[in-house]
Amino acid sequence: MQDTVKEELAFNLKGRDFLMLGDYTPAEIRYLIDLAIELKKKQKAGEVYHPLKGKTLGMIFEKSSTRTRVSFEVGMYQLGGQGLFLSSNDLQIGRGEPIADTAQVLSRYLDGIMIRTYAHRTVVELARAATVPVINGLTDLSHPCQVLADYQTVLEHKGRLEGLKIAYIGDGNNMVHSLMMGAAKLGMNISVATPEGYEPDADQIRNSQDVASQQGSSVIVTRDPKEAIADADIVYTDVWASMGFEAEQKEREIAFAAYQVNEELTKYAKNDYLFMHCLPAHRGEEVSEAVIDGKHSIIFDEAENRLHAQKAIMAAIM
């Protein structure tokens, strides 16, 4: 990427919210991935890089977290700033204060806000009222930070993104929504296999397919996991019952019984396929232990890259 193009992209990203990958151009997403790789190299080399010195990120959590909280907090520290953990139980937002009021107050104290919550409209409303950048740490609709880290990991292992095929087997949840849009934006092909009644959101499918058609790639949704995984470069899955759907665990175990990613199913993927999972995983449920702990698995590289991808987001927009 030419320096003048990078400078223009960097300028365009300043002060932006990071809510959905669909809000960003393919060039902007690739810029963030390349920046994540650059920041990772700096960190591994022990190089001090403090573009956010003196700045503070407020981190609102309505959903519990391991990777999101630690990676954002450590990331802010490594960038020279400070992450401030804000539990919804401790904020007035948890006692009925309007989101818009919370956004305006926090904007007077902070340089950025990250929120991990349930309803996507909460993030949208927060971003509309805030005067500082807002980052979507996860909603029931999308998980853009995770997917940026995912495709960074794929690029590091495969050396390219364009033309690769990713197969997602499992629940049509927030993860697959962001994976579809990210793949479409980056010129990757994605095939999604879900049981009947658990498909991705229809609007998310349509939007991703529209973008894919512009990029010369494809987004396919099927019932057949073997069809989806055929000749896949990357195989991805997630828990069958995401946070908030625990009451459906038993019925989902029945519905998803034929959708476990195991040694038998992965025979249909390419011999050098990569296995990915956003974690936490239920070994023996959505994925067999032989696969998740096997030679194709890159789940901990993927988890580590949450730190570097989110540092890239924060450095770029804050």
Please tell me which residue in 116, 177, 252, 277 is annotated as part of the active site: 116
At residue 20, the pLDDT reads: 98
215 is catalytic: no
Distance CA 247, CA 249 (A): 6
| Residue 125: both structure tokens together | 């409303």
128 is catalytic: no
Prediction pTM value: 0.96
CATH number for the segment(s) 146-303 = 3.40.50.1370
The H or E element spanning position 116 is strand 112-116
DSSP state of 56: E
- Band of pLDDT at residue 94, cut at 50, 70 and 90: low
34 is catalytic: no
Please tell me which residue in 17, 111, 233, 238 is annotated as part of the active site: 238
Distance CA 305, CA 153 (A): 7
Please tell me which residue in 16, 30, 120, 143 is annotated as part of the active site: 143
- For 130-189, the pLDDT digits (tens) are 999 999 999 999 999 999 999 999 999 999 999 999 999 999 999 999 999 999 999 999
In the annotated binding site for L-ornithine, the residues are 174, 238, 242-243
143 is catalytic: yes
Assess contact for 196 and 165: CB atoms under 8 A: no
Question: Where exactly are the structural domains of the chain?
Answer: 1-143+306-317, 146-303
What rounded mean pLDDT belongs to the chain? 96
How would you class 292 by CB atoms within 10 Å of its CB: exposed for 0-12, middle for 13-18, buried for 19 or more?
buried
CATH of 1-143+306-317, one of 3.90.1010.10, 3.40.50.720, 3.40.50.1370, 1.10.10.10: 3.40.50.1370
Distance CA 308, CA 149 (A): 8
In the annotated binding site, the residues are 65-68, 92, 116, 143-146, 174, 238, 242-243, 278-279, 306
160 is catalytic: no
Residue type, 239: V
CATH topology match: 1-143+306-317 vs 146-303: yes
* HSE-CB for 285 with a 13 A CA cutoff: 19
Please tell me which residue in 43, 120, 278, 308 is annotated as part of the active site: 278
Please tell me which residue in 43, 146, 152, 204 is annotated as part of the active site: 146
2 is catalytic: no
